């Protein structure tokens, strides 16, 4: 049971860190770019070779998406 509790504690800690990052990013709009998404897409493209073309297209498309699209002014 102690192990389970520890795992749950770690999970909630990482969730808190994750939300903190998101709050911080939304506070500073200019920081919110698609850099991480691009990195993830490229990683996926490498992992699943058959989907390579599609993934690369998505990666390329993300360059043209305006980062501030998430926010209502």
Q: Is the pTM of this model over 0.75?
A: no
Phi then psi dihedrals of residue 38, to 5 deg: -60, -45
| Mean model confidence pLDDT for the chain | 54
2-30 pLDDT, tens digit each: 666 555 555 565 566 555 555 555 545 44
Q: Classify residue 41 by burial, with Cβ atoms within 10 Å: 0-12, 13-18, 19+.
A: buried
Domain chopping of the chain, boundaries? 1-32, 33-73
Contacts of 44 (CB under 8 A, 6+ apart): 51, 55
pLDDT at 73: 43
Residue 42 has pLDDT above 60, yes or no: yes
């Amino acid at each position: 049971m102690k192990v389970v509790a520890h795992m749950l504690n770690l999970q909630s800690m990482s969730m808190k860190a994750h939300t903190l990052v998101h709050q911080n990013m939304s506070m500073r709009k200019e920081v919110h770019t698609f850099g991480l998404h691009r990195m993830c897409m490229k990683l996926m493209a490498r992992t699943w070779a058959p989907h390579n073309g599609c993934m690369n297209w998505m990666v390329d498309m993300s360059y043209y998406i305006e980062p501030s699209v998430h926010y209502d002014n």
